Structure 1
Amino acid sequence: MAVENTTPNFLFTSDQLKTYTKLFYNFVISNSIYLFIIPTILSTAIHHFSAHGFNQTTITQLHKYYANDLRSFIVALVCLSSLSMGTIYVLTTIIRRPEKVYLVDFACYKHDPSLLASRETVCQRLETVISPESIAFCSKVMEKSGVSDNVFVYGLKDFPPKSAFDCGRGEAETVITGAVDDLLARTGVNPRNIGVVIVNISTFNPVPSLSAMIVNRYKLREDVLTYNLGGMGCSAGVIAVDLAKRLLQAQRNTYALVMSLESVTSGYYVGNDRSKLISNCLFRMGGAALLLSNRSSDSQISKYELKHTLRTHHGADDRAYTCVIQEVDKEGKLGISLSKDLMGVSGRALKANIATLGPLVLPISEQLLFIANTVARKLFKIKGISPYVPDFKLAFDHFCIHAGGKAVLDAMEKNLNLTKWQMEPSRMTLYRYSNISSSSIWYELAYAEAKGRIRKGDCVWQIAFGSGFKCGSAVWRALRTIDPAKVDNPWNDVIHQFPITINN
C-alpha cells in the first residue's frame, strides 16, 4: 500500500523565484528613502543629541529675552513669517506646476447592428471593382487578420458608392453625432462651456471642417478654439490629447472636446495594387469622443488624470516617412500603401518612445538595471549580454495598444513581455472591430472598464503608431474604481462572451 506524501512543498519554481526576487528588489529600491535614508538621519540626530545634549541654559535665556522685549519678538516673528510667505510665493508662482488635466469621461461610438457584414459579403461587393486575383488576396488577408468573420462596415449595401465624398461625410457625421451625443448626455456638460474642440481624422477633410460641423451642430460659443488634425494616421488620437492638454494648461476653467475617428468609405481603394488593398481588408468604422477638463472641481467626478503624453517622430528617415503613404497607382487610382518596412519602422519607433518614456514612469529599480546593462555592454564592451528590456508591467496596470493588426500585437506582446491578460483588450478590439484607427485605444479602455478591471490608482498606458512615422504614448491614472454595472459603452451587451479564442 502506497503511503501518500503529505509533506507540503514550500519550494518555488525558478520562474516564481525570479519574479519574487525582482519584486523584492523593486520594493527595496523604490522605498529606500523610508528603509535607509530616514532611519539614518534619525539615528545620526539621536546620536548627536545624546552626545552633546540640549543646551537648556541657552533656551531659557532666549525665553527670558523675548519675554522681556515684546518688540524684538514681534520683529522676529514678522521676519520669519515674511521669509515663509516669500518661499511659498516663489514655489507657487515662479516654479508653478502646469494645470492638471482630467478625463471627465469618454464615449465610443456604438455601431448599429445593421452595419454588420461578413467577409464573404465584403468580398462580393469588392468583386465589382477589383480582379478575381485581388479578391482571393483580400480574402486570405482577412482570414489571417485576427478579425471576426462579421465586422461593422459603413456604406457596403450601396457599394461602390455613387459619391465617395457623400458616403464619407455620412459615415463621419454618423460616428461623430453618435459619440458626442452620448458623451454630453452622460456628463451633463453644457456645450457652451466647451472652450476647445479638436477633431483628428486622416483621409477625409471636408470644407467646412468636421470641427466646424461640431460647433454648428452643438451651437458652441464664438470664442471656442477649434482644430482639425488631418493626415496623421492611427497615432493622431494621442496627438489630439497632447494638443488638448497644452491648450488647457494655457487657460483656466474650461473643457476640451476631442473627437477621434476615421472615415474609411471615403478612401476605399478600387485598384489591384496589393500594398494598397490591405487597407480595404483591415480598416473599419469607429470613433471616440473625450471630454477633458482643467477645472480642479472636476477631479471629484472625472475618471482619469492625464499624467504624461509623449510623441517620437521619425519623419526625417525616408523609409519611415514612406512606409505608410497615400498615393496613386499606375492607373491613377488613389490608395494608402503599406510597405514591408512597416514592422521594422514600428519597432524602432517603439524603442525610441519607451526609451524616453521609461525615466518618467519606471521605478528606480528598473532604471538602475537598465543603466547597469547599458554600461556593461557599451562602456566595458562585455560580450554575451543581451540588451535589458525594462519591465513596464511594474509601471502600468493596463495596456491599450493600437489594434493595427495581428502582427503588430504579436510583436508588442513579445517585445514588452506582456501576458495574455494584458493583451486581451487590444486583441478583442481587433477581433470585434478590426482596425478602427486612432479610436482603437479607447475601445480597448472601454473593454477594460466593462470587465471591471479598472481600480482607483491604476495606471493605464495607451500607445499608438501612425503615418509620418510617429509613435505616441498617453499615460493615465484612474481617479476612482470603475463599476462595470454603471458603465455604458459598446461592450456592455456582449462582454460576457469575451475573451474569445482566436485560432487564425
Structure 2
Amino acid sequence: MQTPPAPVTAHINAIGTALPPNDVHAAFRGLIDHMLPGKRERAVYERMAKRSAIESRYSFVEALVSEEGAVSDSEGIYTRGKFASTARRMELYERWAPELALQAIDQLDDDIGRQGITHVVVASCTGFVAPGLDQILIRRTGIDPSAERTLVGFMGCYAAVNALRLAHHLVRSTPEARVLVVNVELCTLHLQETTEVDKLLAMLLFSDGATAALVTAEPKGIALNDFRAAAIPGSDDLITWRIGDQGFAMHLDGQVPIRISEALAIERSRNDDTGILRGQSCADYDLWAVHAGGRSILDAVERGLELPENALEPSRTVLRECGNMSSATLMFVLARMMAARKEGDGARPGLAMAFGPGLAAETFRFSLL
C-alpha cells in the first residue's frame, strides 16, 4: 500500500499594505475632547489618551480645524448633534474601501491579473456592500472572473487569521492555487457621539488600513504551519460589535486585558499539545506576531506569556505608527517582519495571535524563511 504524499505547506509569499492619506489622530482627539461635558472627564480622557502609545492614525475622513479650534470633517459625518446615519457611512465605505484595497494590491503587483490568481479571500468587518468587495476587486484588477471568491465578514480583529486559515486550506487541497487575501477596514467611519469616557477611549484606538497577501505553495516568505482557536469561557459580552442607526457600535470592556493575561498564563503552564503553544515553551518561538489591539492588550500578552521586553516590538511599532486597523493590523505586523528579514537569516519559528469577540483568540504557528 502506497503512503499518501505529505500535504503541501501554504506560504505567504508577499504582503502589500496601504493607508489613507489623512493622519487624523491629533484632530480626532480634539473632536472627542469637545464631546466630554466636564473638566474631570476631559482630564481622565487626556491622561489615558497619552498612555495609548499611538502617535498616528489614518482615515479617508479629513479632519478640519477652524480658527476657533473647533474640529469638523470634510464629509460632515461628525457634526455635533447630528452624526451621520449608518446608510451614509455605508455610502462612504462603498466609495473608499475598494480604493484602499486596490492600493494594497498594487504593492504586490500593479497588474495582479497577470499572476494567475485562482482564489480571492476578502476580510472586512467595517462595512457591507453587494456586489461585494470580492467581485469589485476582481473586476477592477483584471483577475479572471472564474476565480473562487469568499468574504469573511464582521468577525473583527481576528478575521485576518481566519482569512489566512482559509488560504492555507485552499493551497493544501489544491497545490497549484494562487490565493489573494485582502483585509480592508475603515474603522474611523464608526466614531460614535457619546459622553462616556470609556467608549471614547476605545474609539481612540481605531484607524483605517488595508493589506493584500499572495498565498501559494511556493516555499518563500512565511510558511503557515498550523492554526488553532481558543475561547475564554464566560467572556461573551466583553467585546461586542453591533450595527446601530449611527454606524457600528463597539463595546470594549476594561476587563479584556486582564482576562487575556490570565488565560495566557494558564496556556503557558500547560504541558500538553492541545493549547495555543502546542506543548512548547515560549522560548521555542523566536517571533511573536500579536494583533496590536492596544497598548494594554500587548502588555497583557507580554505579561501572561512572560515574554522578553522587546518580543512585541513589531506589534508596538505598528500600533504607534498606524493604530488598530482591526483585521488589517496583524498583516501589517507580519509585513514588518518580512521586511526586516536579512539575507542569510535562517528560518525563524513564530506564533501569531489575534483577539476578538467571544472573547476568542485565533492563532497560528509560522516560520519566517
Write out per-residue CA displacement over residues 369-428 of structure 1, whole angstroms, 9 at most, x where no aligned residue.
xxxxxxxxxxxxxxxxxxxxx6312x2111111111111111211222222222211111
Q: Which has the larger radius of gyration?
A: 1
The TM-score with structure 2 as length reference comes to 0.82
Distance 1:416 1:226 in 2: 37
Report the structure, 1 or 2, having the larger helix content: 1
Paired residue secondary structure (2:168)? helix
Query: How far apart are 1:437 and its partner, in Å?
Result: 1.7
Aligned in 2, Cα 1:449/1:257: closer, same or farther, shift over 3 Å?
closer
1:407 aligns with 2:281: no
Contact 2:113/2:144 (CA < 8 Å) preserved in 1? no
Write out per-residue CA displacement over residues 307-326 of structure 1, whole angstroms, 9 at most, x where no aligned residue.
11211245xx4x42211113
Paired residue secondary structure (1:460)? strand
Report the AA paired with residue 116 of structure 1. Answer: D
Distance 1:357 1:155 in 2: 48
Aligned in 2, Cα 1:110/1:325: closer, same or farther, shift over 3 Å?
closer
Matches for 1:438-449 after TM superposition, within 5 Å: 438-449=327-338
Matches for 1:451-470 after TM superposition, within 5 Å: 451-452=340-341, 455-470=345-360
Gaps of 5+ in 1: 1-85, 368-389, 480-504
Paired residue secondary structure (2:210)? strand
The TM-score with structure 1 as length reference comes to 0.62
Contact 2:239/2:251 (CA < 8 Å) preserved in 1? yes
Report the AA paired with residue 359 of structure 2. Answer: F
**Number of equivalent positions:** 346
Gaps of 5+ in 2: 64-73, 78-83
Distance 2:360 2:119 in 1: 24
Report the AA paired with residue 57 of structure 2. Answer: V
Distance 1:228 1:351 in 2: 34
Q: Which residue of 2 aligns with 1:109?
A: 18
Query: How far apart are 1:137 and its partner, in Å?
Result: 5.2
Instruction: Select which of 41, 56, 61 maps to 1:155.
Output: 61
Write out per-residue CA displacement over residues 162-218 of structure 1, whole angstroms, 9 at most, x where no aligned residue.
632233234422320110111124xx7545621211111113122221112112212
1:304 aligns with 2:208: no
Distance 2:138 2:94 in 1: 16
Distance 1:109 1:220 in 2: 20
**Looking at both structures, which has the greater relative contact order when contacts are Cα pairs under 8 Å and sequence separation is at least 6?**
2
Query: How far apart are 1:219 and its partner, in Å?
Result: 2.9
Contact 1:138/1:281 (CA < 8 Å) preserved in 2? no
Report the AA paired with residue 230 of structure 2. Answer: T
Between the aligned residues of both structures, percent identity stands at 20
Instruction: Select which of 358, 377, 398 maps to 2:287.
Output: 398
Write out per-residue CA displacement over residues 106-153 of structure 1, whole angstroms, 9 at most, x where no aligned residue.
1121553xx12342x11334467x3444665543432111111x4323
Q: What's the RMSD between the two structures over aligned residues?
A: 3.0
Distance 1:248 1:353 in 2: 30
Q: Which residue of 1 aligns with 2:313?
A: 424
Report the structure, 1 or 2, having the larger strand content: 2
Q: Which residue of 2 aligns with 1:293?
A: 216
Paired residue secondary structure (2:224)? strand
Report the AA paired with residue 456 of structure 1. Answer: G
Instruction: Select which of 41, 48, 52 maps to 1:145.
Output: 52
Aligned in 2, Cα 1:327/1:304: closer, same or farther, shift over 3 Å?
closer
Distance 2:263 2:138 in 1: 35
